[in-house]
Structure 1
Amino acid sequence: MSRHPRRVADTVVIGAGLAGLACALDLCRAGRRVALLEASDAVGGRMRTDRRDGFLLDRGFQVVNTSYPQLKRRLDLRGLRLRPFTPGFVAHTSAGPVRLTDPTRRPSAAGDLVPGRALPARDLAAMTALTARDALAPVRLLKHGADRSTADALTRAGVSAQTVTEILRPFLSGVFLEDRLETSARFFHLVWRSMVRGTLCLPADGVGAVPARLAQRLPGEVLRLETPVAAVTASGVLLDDGSEMPAATVVVATDAAAAARLLPGLAVPDSRTVTTYYHAAERTPLAEPTLVVDSFGEVLNTCVLTEAAPTYAPPGTALISTSVLGEDRPGVAEAALRRLAGLYGTDTSGWRRIAAYTVRGALPAMRPPWPLSRTTRLSAARYVCGDHRATGSVQGALASGTRAAREVLTDLDRA
């Protein structure tokens, strides 16, 4: 990978996260000269995996959803060696643990959905109707429905306040990284649809395998690592080392905060911050790959990663992931570990903390009305893409990068 271009680029793409990779790939396939500049030492942006002492540590708890159209179009998912989670979750409520599992995939779990056992009969009927609609209706109906908050949408669907508060809010808080369910209902319905139609998995080599596989499809000399950009100029970009790289068009495919620095005046949404702790234990506290959520809100969610993907830890060791909202403040990690003892019903004092990752700007705050997609054109020959321009998801980032490439190609063809 060269750090200096040999030819003047048609397009400079700044940032080799999912959006930047998708944009660069599509431009290259169209025969355009592309320079993809990444400030760090590897591709992926927020979707990276570190290897440390035999552990695979994703930079924050992340999963791969097999129903995402962009992923299916761009990658051979079998090559990722995906390891599935249980199609459901366990919520720890004031009345004790409640297990919700998709009975269409786990018929043996149908007994958990007997009315009154996990959900009241009216709530079970409301959730069944909502799920069937989201799974079977044309996606355009979900995208163009009236937008409101997720909390309002669940209430309108007939789900009781208790079920929302104690079961659905704890689960969805981990999806949206906010605990008020103020996220756009349009996005909620699309997420719910994707979960019903797809499988949540971990790649055997960590979630960083997704951007790494995308990067492997780039032609040689397109990707330039450790090449930070200082500014977008009238003729291209100015690199941190003081050199200039001319280009007919520039696409900023960074996170929202970095995009705002490179493109003064760019309006960006608020963002969500999450911290994920990794602990190692000599034996698993839960012998199944199931997400556990906490209705008391002390943690967002927790799971034993090695029950899904044993490759995440050395043999004979369990790796537990636990996420909390916000920063890694003093006392938060200790409180989370104490709460894990209750959630798993085991002594956690001997667990070894392996790492902690705080991800600022992990997701955009998608309050209604939230546009599920928007143009990437910012000004003449200047474009911006990323999940903050679409939806806070792998699908959203890839789709935004795809749209950026399409709009760049349209404008270059017109020039």
Structure 2
Amino acid sequence: MERKSTKIAIIGAGISGLVAAITLEKEGFAPTIFEASDSIGGRVKTDLLDGYQLDHGFQVLLDAYPMAQKYLDYGQLEFQKFLSGAQVFHKGKSAIIGDPLRNLSLLFPTLTSGIGTFGDKFKVLKLNATLKEKSLEEIFEEPETSTLEYLKSLNFSEEIINQFFKPFFSGIFLEPNLATSSRMFQFVYKMFGAGLAVLPKAGIGAIPNQLQQNLKATQFIFNCPVESCTDEKITLSDGKAAFFDYKIIATDASPLVPNLRKQHLDWHTSDTLYFTPKGRNIDKPLIGLIADPDALINNIFYHTSLETAQKGAAELLSVTVVKDHELTEYELVQRLKEDLHQFCGITTERYLKQYQIKKALPKLTDIRYSLTPSETRLTENVFLAGDYLLNGSLNAAMLSGEMAAKGVLEVLEKRN
């Protein structure tokens, strides 16, 4: 393969695009990445504001993800670990529920939490054992239903579904009704069982930053939105054309490719807002779940319960909303302050920032775990990458980026 003379473009500097570039560089190629914004990371970014680390939406990494283990240096990222549980706020009270097999300090609070029946706790243990033995391939070959229907089929009580499963997994799936695929639930649940939820000390944005540091020959062109992509050329938003032998679209391709424009991709949206509260009423690194149906808030987290590379002067609280609403920023802030006080007994001192993520996770059915390099090929010279091809996870983003790059390499091998 004539590596130096082969021109490869990657559209999008998110996780998929970065992994595609790493895969190509390993084979001696020097791709060019076009990125519409002014920085890498896509949906995985961290801002600094007055010394506070603000992730774009409340995000965690499951360290059992196979692709994360392959591409990330965990030691360098200095992962901070969440406890395997949650503090549930319901009807003016709070209780801790967690996995005592992971942390013995959660045993007594879980047993006395009053959340779920004894039968529910037995079913949780049974579910843990079942998914531990089930391979990822088996999970994604199973008949697909909604997460809610799957939990009901296991005979979990309405109480534990509404007070734990629904708020906990709504915060992961970014939709309030557990309509997400049962395959996705089993995959995520298995990953929680096989490892831990973690956050880099410098915030979630440290993940794409580390991936970028592994790139030595890749050229980045920022603030450069792409208007369309064909076998012949890439057309930029300013009307200029760029010519490449191969293109990898590592973002939603439907607006860029003429014959895909009718295949509109729907997305889940979410809002995460950051506040400085008076004190902290969750003293461990646990997610707070709001189980009251009247609350707009789904989950909260005190980021100051973990070690961070940058630290502001006060406690830092993130508040995540996954329910649909039409509130202005001001109205949303006022509503969340009321909800925090009413449902959690939390008083805020200062509002910092809102992140409204309009394309937070793709809405998908018939989800998959993996795909072959040839399956990423859209046209003669255009390949696709992105978690929307598989399932909404960082693992899928990495895997699809790798497979798209390998798709290009396979075609080059055959042509040479």
Equivalent position of 1:290 in the other structure: 286
- Are 1:264 and 2:269 matched, yes or no? no
Q: Deviations over 1:42-96 (max 9, x none)?
A: 1101111111221111111111221111111111111111111121112223484
Select between 130-139 and 40-49 the one with higher mean Cα deviation: 130-139
The equivalences for 1:93-112 within 5 A come to 93-94=90-91, 96-112=93-109
Shift of 1:395: 0.8
Q: Report SS of the residue matched to 1:318.
A: coil
User: What one-letter code is carried by the residue in structure 2 that aligns with 1:281?
Assistant: P
1:45 and 2:39 equivalent? Answer: no
Q: Following TM superposition, by how much is the alpha carbon of 1:309 offset from its aligned partner in structure 2, in angstroms?
A: 2.9
Q: Counterpart of 1:379 in 2: which secondary structure? A: coil
Distance in 2, Cα, partners of 1:337 & 1:388: 34
Summarize deviations over 1:376-396 as a string: whole Å, max 9, x none: 221221112111111111111
Cα distance in 2, alignment partners of residues 229 and 172 from structure 1: 34
Matches within 5 A, 1:332-347: 332-347=332-347
2:357 is matched with 359
Aligned length: 402
User: What whole-Å deviation, never above 9, does each CA across 1:253-295 have from its counterpart, x for those lacking one?
Assistant: 12x3xx2211133234321000100001353343221101111
CA offset at residue 192 of structure 1?
Answer: 0.4
Q: For residue 242 of structure 1, report the CA deviation from its aligned partner.
A: 4.0
Of residues 254, 257, 272, the one that matches 1:276 is 272
Distance 1:115 1:56 in 2: 35
What's the offset of the Cα at 1:147? 1.2
1:245 is aligned, of 242, 249, 253, to 242
Q: Which amino acid in structure 2 is aligned with residue 232 of structure 1?
A: C
Q: Establish whether residue 15 from structure 1 lines up as the match of residue 12 from structure 2.
A: yes
Q: Tell me the residue number matched to 1:121.
A: 118
Is it true that 1:198 corresponds to 2:188 in the alignment?
A: no
* Counterpart residue identity of residue 158, structure 1: N
Provide the C-alpha distance between the structure 2 equivalents of 1:262 and 1:182, rounded to a whole number of angstroms.
29
| 2:89–2:344 Cα contact (<8 Å) kept | no
Given candidates 304, 309, 312, the residue that maps to 1:306 is 304
Map of 1:150 onto structure 2: 147
CA deviation after TM superposition for structure 1 residue 327, in Å: 5.9
What corresponds to 1:70 in structure 2? 67
3-state SS of paired residue (2:391): coil
Where does the alignment leave 5 or more consecutive residues of structure 1 unmatched? 1-6
Q: Give me the TM-score of the superposition, normalised by structure 2.
A: 0.91
Instruction: Give the drift of 1:97.
Output: 2.5
Equivalent residue for 1:412? 412
Contact 1:203 1:309 in 2 (8 A): no
**In the alignment, does 2:162 pair up with 1:162?**
no
AA of the residue aligned to 2:414: R
Distance 1:261 1:141 in 2: 34
CA distance in 2, matches of 1:304, 1:95: 19
Following the alignment from structure 1 to structure 2, what is the Cα–Cα distance between the partners of residues 65 and 149? Answer: 22
Partner amino acid for 1:381? N
Letter aligned with residue 170 of structure 2: S
Matches of 1:247 and 1:346, distance apart in 2: 55
Partner residue in 1 for 2:327: 329
Deviation per CA, 1:121-173: give whole Å up to 9, x if none: 11111111112211232222212112111111111112112221222111111
Deviations 1:355-396 (A, max 9, x none): 0010011001134x3334453221221112111111111111
Corresponding letter in the other structure for 2:386? G
Stretch of structure 1 that moved more, 20-29 or 276-285: 276-285
Secondary structure in 1 aligned to 2:288? strand
Q: Deviations over 1:174-208 (max 9, x none)?
A: 11111111111111100001111121122111111
CA RMSD of the aligned region, Å? 2.0
How far apart, in 2, do the equivalents of 1:98 and 1:227 lie? 49
Contact 2:376 2:384 in 1 (8 A): yes
Decide whether the 8 Å contact of 2:80 with 2:201 is kept in 1: yes
Cα distance change on mapping 1:83 and 1:27 into 2, 3 Å = same
Q: In the aligned structure 2, how far is the partner of 1:343 from the partner of 1:85? A: 23
In the alignment, is the contact (CA less than 8 A) between 1:205 and 1:312 conserved in 2? yes
Seq. identity, %: 28
Structure 2 gap ranges (5+): none
Distance 1:120 1:312, change over 3 A: farther
In the alignment, the residues of structure 2 paired with residue 363 and residue 377 of structure 1 have an alpha-carbon distance, to the nearest angstrom, of 23
Deviation, 1:252, is 0.6
CA contact (8 A) 1:112 1:118 kept: no
Letter in 2 for 1:334: Q
Distance 2:85 2:113 in 1: 18
Determine if contact 2:235/2:241 at 8 Å carries over to the other structure: yes
Change in CA separation of 1:189 and 1:16 when aligned onto 2, cut-off 3 Å: same
State how 1:79-94 maps to structure 2 within 5 Å.
79-94=76-91
Instruction: Give the Cα separation in 2 of the matches to 1:345 and 1:388.
Output: 38
